[in-house]
């Protein structure tokens, strides 16, 4: 079983962090995995994406060309990657930021108004984690019970309050019925 996921959006939306969160889930679960960011001169505000592969067998190329799952947080990213998703794949759309609908009919689409939900709950920078929560729910590729352990690893101990916020965002996405 191999899952290939692309996260894409603007720099500053936590795209790379979302991928990292999933990668650490894989690490804790003892899976083979890779995490590959786009990199460029735009530190903030430009387009950002990252590819994550979780697998039961060694990962060949870390480059994801045809994702099983796509998480998009802006229009250009949906335009860019929509056609690449494998038939039967899943697309997670931040519907607060992307107005159009997915054109593909051979994939499962989940619209989550993540940015609006985050804002309403005082979790302004955590729309990404709401989408990750939904992805965990719909894909089952990682066990939700392991998120605490993952947050322990990737959120600095000095900023413990962030762990609770991240957990809350994940939970909101996980429970979202849209």
Partner 1 sequence: MAEKVLMKGNEAIAEAALMAGCRHYFGYPITPQTELTAYMAKRLPKMDGVFLQAESELAAINMVIGVSAAGKRVMTSSSSPGISLKGEGLSYLAGCDLPAFVVNVQRGGPGLGGIQPSQSDYFQATRGTHGDYRTIVLAPDSVQEMVSLTIKGFELADKYRMTAMLLADGTLGQMMEPVSLDQGEIVTFEKPWAANGTKMQRPNNIINSLSLIPEELEQWNLTRFKRYDIVEQNEVMYEEYMMEDAEICLVSFGITARVSKNAIAEARAKGIKAGMIRPITLWPFPKKPLLAAAQKVKAFVTVEMNMGQMIEDVELATRCLKPVISCTRCGGVIPSPNDVMAAIDKACEIGGAAK
Answer yes or no whether residue 63 interacts with partner 1 by CB under 8 A. Answer: yes
Q: Which of 7, 8, 10, 20 binds partner 1 (CB under 8 A)?
A: 20
Distance CA 68, CA 85 (A): 6
Three-class SS state of 41: coil
Ranges within 81-140 binding partner 1 (CB under 8 A): none
Residue 1 tokens, joined: 């079983």
**In degrees, to the nearest 5, what angle opens at C-alpha 53 toward C-alphas 52 and 58?**
145
Q: Which of 12, 42, 45, 61 binds partner 1 (CB under 8 A)?
A: 61
Residue listed under structure tokens 């804002």: 119
Q: Which of 12, 40, 76, 140 binds partner 1 (CB under 8 A)?
A: 40
Residue 52 tokens, joined: 């994550």
Answer yes or no whether residue 35 interacts with partner 1 by CB under 8 A. Answer: yes
Residues that bind partner 1 (CB under 8 A): 20, 23-24, 27, 32-37, 39-41, 59-63, 65
């Amino acid at each position: 079983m191999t899952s290939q996921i692309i996260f894409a959006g603007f720099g500053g939306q936590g795209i790379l962090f979302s991928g990292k969160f999933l990668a650490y889930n894989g690490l804790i679960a003892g899976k083979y995995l890779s995490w590959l960011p786009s990199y460029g001169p735009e530190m903030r505000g430009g387009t950002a994406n990252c590819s994550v592969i979780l697998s039961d067998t060694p990962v060949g190329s870390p480059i994801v060309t045809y994702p099983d799952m796509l998480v998009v947080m802006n229009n250009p990213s949906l335009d860019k990657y929509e056609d690449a998703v494998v038939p039967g794949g899943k697309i997670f759309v931040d519907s607060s930021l992307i107005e159009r609908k997915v054109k593909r009919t051979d994939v499962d689409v989940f619209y989550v108004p993540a940015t609006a939900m985050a804002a309403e709950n005082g979790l302004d920078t955590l729309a990404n984690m709401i989408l990750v929560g939904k992805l965990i729910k719909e894909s089952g590729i990682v066990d939700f019970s392991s998120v605490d352990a993952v947050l322990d690893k990737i959120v600095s101990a000095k900023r413990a309050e962030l762990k609770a916020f991240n957990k809350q965002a994940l939970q909101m996405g996980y429970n979202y019925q849209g």
